[in-house]
Chain A
Amino acid sequence: MDRVWAEVAVAATKTPSHSTELGAALLSAAMALPCIMGAAHAESAPEKGTLSFKFLNYQERQQLGKDTAVGGAPLSGYSGASAFDERIRVKASATNIMLPLNAEWSMAGTLITDSISGASPAYHTQALSGMKDFRRAVDTSLTRYLPNGTLTVGMSHSGENDYVSRAVSVLTTQVSEDKNTTWTAGLGLNRDAIQPANFIVTHEQKKGADLLLGVTQVFSMNDIVQVNLGHYSGHGYFSDPYKIYDERPRDRQHQTFQARWNHHVAAWGGTSRLAYRYYTDTWGIRSHTLDAEWVQRLGSDWRVAPLLRLYSQNAARFYVEVDPRIAPFPPSPLPSAVHFSEDQRLSAFGAITMGLKVTRQLNVDTSVDVKVEQYGQKAVWKFTGVGSQGLAPFYARSIQVGITHAF
């Protein structure tokens, strides 16, 4: 009858778990032998390339007639005709290819095309007006694998009818000797050109820079943690030309703190993936995001992962609340206000996402996945305090289907 390692009795020695000088000497002697330990680099290009496709079908809607922040009283003017009004619908397809060029170089490219149609409010959650647009974005990057880490440079270009965005980025990772710690630093620069279809403004632009510093640490065979600090600084046109009463500052800076933890439970074949992000910006917005996912392996081919996301933000300093006395008509900003906006996205609210992703491994190189998510955004769901009043609850359903193949 065999006994598992941990149960064997007597004299279990407890000494530090790191390699000793003697151990290191024995190891380094063996390093002289031809090719028994694999690549000398801490990181080397992956052995296989990958090709992935993912399709997205996204549908938004809002529930008119319910003011969920202030006592549930219906807004005046509610016709009661339909419980929901459709908002934006997006059908997108994304393709990514990653190709190792040799042991020290790899490249990657992503192409995304979005078909966007539907309706968007002109202010708060009122006056939905139709729109239709098509966006294509291309991303490319080149990675060099160095003895202690990597260096990646990237470029991206995104174009739609009224908005073109160009960006470059550089990212470096440094891996510790024992490969348990990875430091990350990244810098991105973007320049966007805005030419709205309604000619409210012409030849506008927005420039920004963002910086990322992060560290990833392996805590044990089953635990890995990552902490990231981000800073963004942007200048230019931030307003939404399709919304009325929208005049935002020409500067915006934000900082983010993010911590993520993946924990594997070998006994169950499952892994918990938890993340928290704190966001704060110069428009007075602060938010908290909590992500929780559990990836459960079933047999050797299947993975099932339910997920939950909780989000809460407060309103921008210059957000103009719905005025129940004159709703559904838009309130005028105060005469003294330099900046103002009636964009729902800058209001105070909380949001909950629930979803499920199922992945099937077809063979060692290929897998397919399906993910369904339901998102809800409501003022009452703000974590603390009171959310913005008078906004219709907002819902979105998204379905993603993907396939990825290594070659």
Chain B
Amino acid sequence: MHASSSLAVQRYPFRAMGSACEVVLVASSAQDAQRLAQSAIDEVLRIERKYSRYTADSIVAKINQKAGLNAVVCDDETWALLQYASKLHEQSNGLFDITSGVLRAAWNFKVPAIPSAEMLDELRAKVGWQKVVLKNQSIALPIAGMEIDLGGFGKEYAADRAAQVLQTQGVASGYVNLAGDMRFLGPKLTGEPWMIGIQDPRHPDQVVATLPMVQGGLATSGDYERYFELNGERYCHVLNPFTGWPVKYWRTVSVTAPAAVVAGCTSTMAMLMEQEGLSFLQATGFDFLAIDHAGNVHMRQQAA
């Protein structure tokens, strides 16, 4: 008894947003699977081109170029994403801030060095979503050098959109995986869930837990993606917009929620909230797995 080839799981790896990505699905034929996967990949690449900081014609690059100059009119999709960023800023009492990307200039993760207080102060002056002017479906960054960066939920949004593209075409078994930010379309044809391993934050080749996933989103924030270590301390890429310093409390936070975007923002916010992150995760009602700086594991999983 072996699975017939027409019902085998098809995997389509690709690179996007600087990471290894994959579309996994079951379709009635190899051509169908190819076509469906391509439509999902196209959607991811579209979002990457449109919202990347790096591509010259992306809307984000245009908005950043006009910082301190004038407002930029946004299309519906961009406006909706900016409204979402606003709500997250409000929900997190300012911790989730898409203007905090400029702080990256102070932390060069290739060269372990603590920035000076002056450097951080100068950069912190350019951070603050509350300063941004949103009006008439346009956005204005009032200070030259201010930047917005949708990296905080861009991958998760792309995962949700790509999954939606597949869902409207009738795919009911599979998932989209963008470097660990995932959205699931339905269980395997046998009804079994996809077993997803959560990377051990201190041992990249090991898995610290395996989650059964069937639908919805799964996202992980961790201190191991970009970091440097100095004098036994780890400095990671998740920066507190008020202090300018990396967060230290959590090694990794994984969250499952109905959409990847919600899972991703929740995990990021938990990282930013540091000690308060645990009660925040509990208050959301979502399932989570979090490992703190001492290696203690905290989790909630509904009984199946």
Give the interface of A toward B (CB within 8 A). 1-6, 8-20, 22-23, 25-27, 29-30, 32-38, 47-48, 220-222, 264, 266, 269, 297-302, 361-365
Q: Is B164 a contact of A13 with CB atoms below 8 Å?
A: no
Chain A proximity of B273: nearest CB distance (Å): 12
Which of A5, A16, A38, A264 has the most B CB atoms < 10 Å from its CB?
A5
Q: Whose C-beta in chain A lies nearest to the C-beta of B295?
A: A10
Known A-B contacts A4-B210, A15-B300, A297-B190; A22 and B285 likewise in contact (beta carbons under 8 Å): yes
**Interface flags, B197-237, vs A, CB<8A=1, else 0:** 10000000011111110100000000000000000000000
Which of B157, B191, B207, B285 has the most A CB atoms < 10 Å from its CB?
B285
Chain A proximity of B114: nearest CB distance (Å): 32
Chain B proximity of A80: nearest CB distance (Å): 49
Judge whether B76 is part of the interface by a CB distance below 8 angstroms.
yes
With A and B bound together, what is the CA distance between A9 and B208 in angstroms?
11
Q: Is B210 a contact of A13 with CB atoms below 8 Å?
A: no
Closest 4 CB pairs of A and B: A2-B207, A20-B285, A23-B285, A36-B160
Q: Is A363 a contact of B168 with CB atoms below 8 Å?
A: no
Interface residues on chain B, number (Cβ under 8 Å): 63
Among B12-20, B55-63, B80-88, B241-249, the stretch in contact with A: B80-88
In the complex, chain B residues 1-32 whose Cβ is within 8 Å of any chain A Cβ: 1-4, 6-7, 26-29
A-B contact count (CB 8 A): 159
> Pick the contact of A8 from B26, B284, B289, B303 — CB < 8 Å?
B289
Q: Is A12 a contact of B299 with CB atoms below 8 Å?
A: yes
Q: Which residues of A contact B302 (CB under 8 A)?
A: 17
Q: Whose C-beta in chain B lies nearest to the C-beta of A299?
A: B1
Q: Which residues of A contact B76 (CB under 8 A)?
A: 34
Q: Which residues of B contact A222 (CB under 8 A)?
A: 304
Return 30 A-B CB contacts under 8 Å, by A number. Answer: A1-B206, A4-B210, A10-B296, A10-B297, A10-B298, A12-B299, A12-B300, A14-B300, A19-B285, A20-B284, A22-B283, A26-B262, A26-B284, A33-B80, A33-B81, A33-B157, A33-B261, A34-B80, A37-B258, A38-B167, A221-B214, A221-B304, A266-B304, A297-B190, A299-B2, A300-B3, A300-B188, A301-B3, A362-B6, A364-B189
Chain A proximity of B191: nearest CB distance (Å): 7
Q: Which residues of B contact A29 (CB under 8 A)?
A: 84, 87-88, 91
With A and B bound together, what is the CA distance between A221 and B189 in angstroms?
16
Binding site secondary structure of chain A: loop
Q: Which residues of A contact B299 (CB under 8 A)?
A: 5, 8, 11-13
Q: Whose C-beta in chain A lies nearest to the C-beta of B288?
A: A13
Q: Which residues of A contact B1 (CB under 8 A)?
A: 298-299, 302
Chain A proximity of B23: nearest CB distance (Å): 16
Q: Is A33 a contact of B192 with CB atoms below 8 Å?
A: no
Known A-B contacts A26-B91, A26-B266; A301 and B7 likewise in contact (beta carbons under 8 Å): yes
Q: Is A38 a contact of B164 with CB atoms below 8 Å?
A: yes
Q: Which residues of A contact B91 (CB under 8 A)?
A: 22, 25-26, 29
Q: Is A2 a contact of B210 with CB atoms below 8 Å?
A: yes
> Pick the contact of A364 from B7, B206, B214 — CB < 8 Å?
B7
Judge whether B275 is part of the interface by a CB distance below 8 angstroms.
no
Q: Is B262 a contact of A27 with CB atoms below 8 Å?
A: yes
Q: Which residues of A contact B37 (CB under 8 A)?
A: none
Chain B proximity of A354: nearest CB distance (Å): 25
With A and B bound together, what is the CA distance between A12 and B303 in angstroms?
12
Judge whether B282 is part of the interface by a CB distance below 8 angstroms.
yes
Q: Is B83 a contact of A32 with CB atoms below 8 Å?
A: yes
Q: Is B258 a contact of A300 with CB atoms below 8 Å?
A: no
Chain B proximity of A382: nearest CB distance (Å): 39
Q: Is B300 a contact of A27 with CB atoms below 8 Å?
A: no
Judge whether B40 is part of the interface by a CB distance below 8 angstroms.
no
Known A-B contacts A15-B300, A33-B261; A48 and B7 likewise in contact (beta carbons under 8 Å): no
Q: Which residues of A contact B266 (CB under 8 A)?
A: 26
> Pick the contact of B84 from A19, A32, A48, A301 — CB < 8 Å?
A32
Q: Whose C-beta in chain A lies nearest to the C-beta of B4?
A: A301
> Pick the contact of A11 from B87, B170, B297 — CB < 8 Å?
B297
Q: Is A2 a contact of B191 with CB atoms below 8 Å?
A: no
Chain A proximity of B171: nearest CB distance (Å): 9
Q: A11-B296, A36-B157 are in contact. List 14 more A-B contacts (CB 8 A).
A: A2-B207, A5-B211, A5-B301, A6-B301, A12-B300, A17-B303, A20-B285, A30-B84, A37-B164, A300-B4, A300-B190, A301-B7, A361-B7, A364-B27
Judge whether B259 is part of the interface by a CB distance below 8 angstroms.
yes
Q: Whose C-beta in chain B lies nearest to the C-beta of A48?
A: B170
